[in-house]
Structure formats: C-alpha cells, structure tokens
Amino acid sequence: MKVKQSIPKHLRFTVADFNRMFPDNDACLEFLKEQRFPNGIAFCEKCQLDRKHHRVTGRPAYACDYCGSMISPMAGTIFEKSTTSLRLWFYAMYLMSSTRCGISAKQIQREVGVTYKTAWRMFKQIRTLMSEDISLEGSAVEADESYFGSKGRNRRFGKRAGAGRSLDNKTPVFGMVERGGRVVAMVTPDAKAKMIMPILCEKVLPESVVYTDEFPIYDRLSQHPNGYVHRRIQHSQSVYVMGDCHTNTIEGFWSVVKRGIGGVYHSVSKKYLQTYLNEYSFRYNRRFSDSPMFTSILERISERAN
C-alpha cells in the first residue's frame, strides 16, 4: 500500500534534493554568486561600473572581464574567512532547517564531521540569518510574557498561589503574535509596564484588538493614545477561553520553544536565549510558506551580506 506523503510536494526538500542541487563546493559557490550577482553582473571597484564577472579557475572568486579585478561571493557573508568548505556550511543550514524543534551543535558536529568548536561557530553564525525585525500587521494580536531558566513554575502567579518558587533566577521574555500570522519574541530585562508597553506599541498597529491575561502591566492598555481595544482573560480564576478571548496562540508558541529547548538543548544561558527565540520565531513565521525552510534561510545570505 502506498503511504500518502503528509508534506506538500513544493515544501519537500530531502537529502537527495540537497545532494542533487549542491553536489560540490563549486555548485554552492555558483549558487551564492547568482544570488548576490545575478548573471555574474557586479559592480567593479576599479572600473566604477557594473561589469560581467567570470569564475577564476582554482579560486573561489570571479574576475571582471574588462580589468581582471576580482570579487568573492563569500565576502561580507557568514562564510567569509572560514576554512570550512562551503558545501559543509550549506549542509549545516539544511540540517538546521529540517527540524521543527532545532538541532544541537553537537549533532551538527556528528553529521557534518567538523570539530565541536567549528560546529558551534557555524551554528551561531547561521542563527544570525534567522533574526528579523518585523512589526505585526494583524488587527488581532495576543501578548504575553513568560520566563525561561531553572525548573519550577514559570508563571508570575506561582509565588502568589503558594508555589513558593522564586523567579529571581529566570529570564523574562515578552512575545506578541498575530492571530493566524507572525510572532515576535524578545528577551527583556524585566516584565514591568515601563519595559513591556513601549515594545508592544512599537510592534502592534494602532486600533488593534490586543488580547492579554490579567497581569497588571496591561491595565492602561485600553487608555493608550494608539486606541487599542483591550480584551483580557482571567487565568487566575482558571478561565482560559471565553469566546474568541484567549492567549492560547502565544502560549502555544512558548510551549513549542520550551519543549524544543528542553528536549534538544536541555538548557540555554541568558546570553544566547535571544538567538534561540529568533530561530523558533523564524520557523513559526514561515509555517505557511510556499517554499521549503532551507530555501528561506538561503535567501537571507545575500540580504545579510555587508
């Protein structure tokens, strides 16, 4: 019996697809060249004009067909000055794009065949491609803060409810998500109104409907000059859904992040937590994309080039 593939055909990108598209370093370099300099047309610093460039034999560079000055597609990218082959970089990106919950640097070390130090650097550099500065354009947005860190209750009501767990060792994070759309998540120094409200007002369009729980930092949201419509759900009274009023979407995102970090990375320091949030947000924001996740990461290379 033929098993039906659950992933749409246009979103599949298998190892066989990767090997066919990028069989060697030359194929990776040519792809990078076409992405940054379509048809080999690039600005020549010496000629001060856009010129056609051709591949230099034996070197990862292209030369101007008029004056011979060379350019490298890797200049200004995460690959610059790296001694690791370009194909291994591409394969590491493929591995990071092929899982919903992430992949550890240790696993990249095993899969790619590099040292852990190199795998960690690749891991960190590829993550920079996943950071993005976006504003939410939906008319209905859920906002919520959470805490990452040592085990225990992660809600601010834990101590008040008698759990006896302190949040002192936890890192506060704040997130907003469009209903059926994108998410923004960031590490914050604290979860006070003076910190959270400016972020919310910067990312959410005026006159949007904002759904939150009853945490006091949102008390003046309905009085804000931006004209927000504020709707609240009473979690402290064990009410989690009332019609269309809930914060389940953003809490679902927190759940995915925490399960991923706990299952794959086990723990994350405050120093690097934002990069992990960027990675999970990048995946979440492209869950309805018409192209494979790997393609989305590749597109960011030229966008992030200096």
The helix (run of H) or strand (run of E) holding residue 171 is strand 171-178
The predicted pLDDT at position 159 comes to 39
Amino acid code (one letter) for 112: V
- Model pLDDT for residues 217-247, shown as the tens digit of each residue: 999 898 889 899 999 999 888 888 988 999 9
Domain count, the chain: 1
Query: Does residue 304 belong to any structural domain of this protein?
Result: no
Task: Give me 72's structure tokens.
Answer: 């490298």
| Per-state percent for the chain, helix, strand, coil, to nearest 5 | 40, 15, 45
The predicted pLDDT at position 164 comes to 40
Q: What is the pTM of this model?
A: 0.85
Query: Does residue 220 belong to any structural domain of this protein?
Result: yes
Query: Does residue 232 belong to any structural domain of this protein?
Result: yes
Give the domain CATH number at 175.
3.30.420
- pLDDT above 90 covers a percentage of the chain that reads 65
> Is residue 100 pLDDT above 90, yes or no?
no
Structural domain including 181 reads 140-268
- Model pLDDT for residues 29-41, shown as the tens digit of each residue: 999 999 999 999 9
- Model pLDDT for residues 253-298, shown as the tens digit of each residue: 999 999 988 888 888 889 999 999 999 999 999 888 888 889 999 9
Query: Does residue 233 belong to any structural domain of this protein?
Result: yes
Query: Does residue 230 belong to any structural domain of this protein?
Result: yes
The predicted pLDDT at position 6 comes to 58
Query: Does residue 20 belong to any structural domain of this protein?
Result: no
Query: Does residue 34 belong to any structural domain of this protein?
Result: no
Q: DSSP letter for 262, please.
A: I
Measured in residues, the chain has a length of: 306
Query: Does residue 169 belong to any structural domain of this protein?
Result: yes
Cβ–Cβ under 8 Å, residues 100 and 89: no
